[in-house]
Amino acid sequence: MLDTALQAVKDLERMGASEAEGYIQDSTEVIISVKDKEWSKRRKKDTCIGLRTLTGKKKGFAAGTLPMCSLEEIEKLSFMFSQNTPADPSWEHLPYSKPCYNPEGIYDRTLAEMSEEEVMDKVQVIMNAVREKGGSAEPNLLLRVDRIAVANSYGVEGFYQSTKLDFACLCRVEKREKREESMAAVEWHSRAFDVDLEGLVTTAEQLEPKNFSAIKKSFTGEAVFLPDAVAHIFLPCIKWAVHAENVYSGRSRFAEKGEVSSPVLTITDDGTLPTGVRSAPFDGEGNPMQKTTLVEKGIFQNALHSEYTANKYGDVSTGNALRSATTEPSVDTTNTIMKPGDHSVDALVEQVDEGVLIRNFSGDVDPSRGYFDGRADGSYINHGEIEFHVKTFHIRGNAFESLLNIVLVGKNQVCTSDGKYLVPFLTSEIEIIQGS
């Protein structure tokens, strides 16, 4: 793979490129799911290459799947595009070669070499564990193995392998003595097949059927946001706010370095996190990934850079140029980590005079301004106790203002499929609208 990327760079230079880059991604996916006792499985494998070609400050990009497209054809397209695009006055150069750190635990050989039959056996073990508790499970599993290579005109030559497991399971456990059924949806994202079977079964077993009711009035109150809701509302806004282009242009709410959240919140971006689901030795253009503090005790610290934005604004890359082989690199987060606090969810609830616990959110979020408006599900809290559960209710607010209003941060960290390590928190001034 690396030889192919190097060959493409040399070919493009011979064609007249002033600098060139080759990025190759070889991916294998195995997807297994069980629904209504029916098993389904799918396997997908492809190898893609993306080529960036520069003639002066004019850039061309082309990508294709090998061997369906020939390397020569992709090279010609990339070079042709570089001849026919406007020059970018902000362009400086592709990255220079730098030492890279190889994060521990991003590749699990056992997982990479596991056959489909072995994966199905593992899924069956999970289903049996739930069945022993008198329940049933509908798992959905995605196993992915990636091999990545990158090379450019300035001596960048990188290669690594990674594995990833995305596991979701809907568990149902019957409460025989009550003739009722509890249900839990559990997710697990990891670099190895280390699904927490005990925790999965316990979650399903302990979850009681919900006493649903409706919020009878509209009011502005406090809210405990669980990690899934944090991911959908707050992470898009934080990601926008720490993007270097938005910070340096003044569009970001974090542009004026200072207090951007309550002092109880610290957020880092760490592409070197051991076993992190978005960790890697280097980013999508060969710069070493690193750990970058975004917010420390409420104070904005650093923006995230690619090589392009770093050169444009006189800074250095933070290793945050992410991509697939079929797309050009762009600034993105790696493993976004909210530092856990000391409080359980129950402890957060106990601090609420009147408000809601928000499990999930679906609706509109404006990442640049922070406004969110949509439907949620969760619970109504009165004087520190959950009074009843609510299937759907409406909430409105501003994510940036809510970050400033955070009172307490929870300790139960949850990892999402795209590397967001999130915790629950309690904030205020959320508009809660009457509904069913």
How does strand 420-422 pair with strand 414-415? antiparallel
Query: Is the full-model pTM beyond 0.85?
Result: yes
- All structural domains of the chain with their residue ranges: 2-206, 210-436
Longest CA–CA separation in the chain, Å:
78
- Strand segments (E) across 265-411: 267-270, 291-296, 299-300, 321-322, 330-331, 336-338, 354-365, 371-382, 385-398, 408-409
CATH fold, domain 2-206, is PmbA/TldD fold (3.30.2290)
Q: What one-character DSSP code corresponds to residue 5?
A: H
pLDDT by 10s per residue, the chain, length 436: 999 999 999 999 999 999 999 999 999 999 999 988 899 999 999 999 999 999 999 999 999 999 999 999 999 999 999 999 999 999 999 999 999 999 999 999 999 999 888 888 888 888 887 777 767 788 899 999 999 999 999 999 999 999 999 998 887 766 555 545 566 677 889 999 887 766 665 665 555 555 678 888 899 999 999 999 999 999 999 999 999 999 999 999 999 878 999 999 999 999 999 999 999 999 999 999 999 999 999 999 999 999 999 999 999 999 999 999 999 999 999 999 999 999 999 999 999 999 999 999 999 999 999 999 999 989 999 999 999 888 889 999 999 999 999 999 999 999 999 999 999 999 999 999 976 4
Distance CA 164, CA 145 (A): 7
Q: Amino acid identity of 398?
A: N
Burial class (CB in 10 A: 0-12, 13-18, 19+), 208: exposed
C-alpha separations of 425 from 224, 296, 390, 417 in Å: 6, 16, 19, 20
C-alpha separations of 251 from 302, 339, 398, 417 in Å: 15, 26, 16, 28
Helix (H) or strand (E) holding 189: strand 180-190
